[in-house]
A and B are shown apart, each in its own frame.
Chain A
Amino acid sequence: MIAPGQSGECRVRINIDGVLRSVVYGYPCSLHVDPVEKKPLFHFLPGTKILSLATVGCNLHCRNCQNWEISQANPEDSRAFAYPPEKLVEQAKYYQCPSLAYTYTDPIIFYEYTYDTAKLAERRGIRSVLVTAGYINPEPWKRLLGYIDAANIDLKGITDDFYRRVCSGTLKPVQQALVLAKASGILVEVTHLIIPTLNDKPEEIRQLVRWVKANLGGETPLHFSRFFPRYKMRHLPPTSLRTLDMAREIAISEGMEYVYIGNIRSEVGQNTYCPACGALLIERSQYTILKNRLKKGCCPNCGRQIYGVWK
Chain B
Amino acid sequence: MTRRKFIQKLIKFGAAVIVGTCWLAKKAVPRKFVWAAKLKKYPGSLKPLSDIRKQGKWSG
Contacts and interface: CB of A to CB of B under 8 A. Distances in A.
> Main SS of the interface on chain A?
mixed
Nearest to A27: B42
A94 to B, nearest CB: 10
Interface in A111-162: 111-112, 131, 137, 139-140, 143, 152
Given A80-B47, A139-B33, 8 more contacts: A25-B39, A32-B53, A33-B53, A38-B56, A52-B60, A66-B59, A67-B59, A137-B32
Interface string B20-60: 00000000000011111111001111111100111110111
Interface residues of B, number: 24
Contacts of A152: 60
A38 B37 contact: no
Nearest to B42: A27
B52 A104 contact: no
Contact of A39 (B39, B44, B47, B60): B60
B56 A32 contact: yes
6 contacts: A16-B39, A21-B38, A23-B42, A82-B42, A104-B58, A104-B59
A35 B32 contact: no
Interface of B: 32-39, 42-49, 52-56, 58-60
A140 B32 CA distance: 8
Contacts of A104: 56, 58-60
A67 B38 contact: no
Nearest to A110: B36
A31 B59 contact: no
Given A78-B44, A137-B32, A91 B58 contact: no
A291 interface: no
